Amino acid sequence: MPATPPRLLGPAEVRALAAALDLRPTKQRGQNFVIDPNTVRRIVRESGVGADDVVVEVGPGLGSLTLALLEVAGRVTAIEVDEVLAARLPRTITEHAPDQADRFELIHADALRVEAVPGPPPTALVANLPYNVSVPVLLHLMTLLPSLQKGLVMVQSEVADRLAAPPGSKVYGVPSVKAAWFADVRRAGAIGRNVFWPAPNVDSGLVAWTHHEPPTTKVSRERVFAVVDAAFAQRRKALRGVLKGLAGSGERAEAALIAAGVDPMARGESLGIAEFVRITECLQELPA
């Protein structure tokens, strides 16, 4: 017999689960639960995951997105920090997706502190990320799990804009550059407030990304990110000045920038990841 698809959670099921757990969603953990099955199906569709994918989900909460992922993914590993939610989720999966329960695994941990993910190497990250830590979690998992080939995350709308921003735009910054080290990133749509319980006081956006190989093997990611951090620490100042600490002097910073083909008076907000890589390589090549 063909497997029975999971039964997704609607508003009544979400509220019933929350009531049974005496759950009071907290802002501290960014707990806003999706109550619309069409929305989670849309997220899964936009993510492009399929039967060959091993998906990591962060912050599964009551399981709305988890169940939609189990409809199509080969395997889902969910990372949940909340003790009450983590204890209840396996039972929800068994009750609503009995034919898929053996393809689900739960990690009760803080996603920012996870050091490994058990099972087959994950190929996709799909999550409604806790908004207060969305960028650090995304960058941590991109770093930790080089097997990830793609992903789609729901974050605060402004954060989605920032992650997908091109050089030179008003919201371009450190998250934009660091995400670009790992992947090609794009905005994948907006999500209304009324699909959540409780409704957040911010708008939400989807960010999709496709993995690419690191843009250099000559210098480490850590060195490149140190240059990025320095460039945006004083984003209105010219690179010659903001990089002198890393270079040893303004003159050495200028020499590296010229060697990289970058105007020493340019600002970090005008440069893409490729330029930051070239600058880092040229800083490394400066004579002692």
Give the CATH number of the domain where residue 253 resides.
1.10.8.100
- Is 105 contained in some domain? yes
The residue among 51 and 2 whose pLDDT is bigger is 51
- Is 124 contained in some domain? yes
Among candidate residues 192, 211, 230, the one where a domain is terminated: 211
Percentage of the chain surpassing pLDDT 90?
Answer: 90
**CATH number of the domain where residue 60 is located:** 3.40.50.150
Residue 240 domain boundaries:
221-285
* Residue 210 pLDDT level (bands cut at 50, 70, 90): very high
Q: Are residues 27 and 65 in the same domain?
A: yes
Q: Are residues 73 and 207 in the same domain?
A: yes
Q: Are residues 37 and 162 in the same domain?
A: yes
Q: Whole-angstrom Cα distance, residue 230 to residue 235?
A: 9
| Residue 116, Cβ density class (10 Å: 0-12 exposed, 13-18 middle, ≥19 buried) | exposed
Q: Are residues 269 and 190 in the same domain?
A: no
Q: Whole-angstrom Cα distance, residue 51 to residue 74?
A: 4
Q: Is the pLDDT of residue 30 over 70?
A: no
Q: Whole-angstrom Cα distance, residue 162 to residue 176?
A: 6
Give the pLDDT score at 102.
97
Q: Are residues 144 and 274 in the same domain?
A: no
Q: Whole-angstrom Cα distance, residue 94 to residue 158?
A: 36
Lowest average pLDDT, out of 27-41, 129-143, 248-262, goes to 27-41
- Is 4 contained in some domain? no
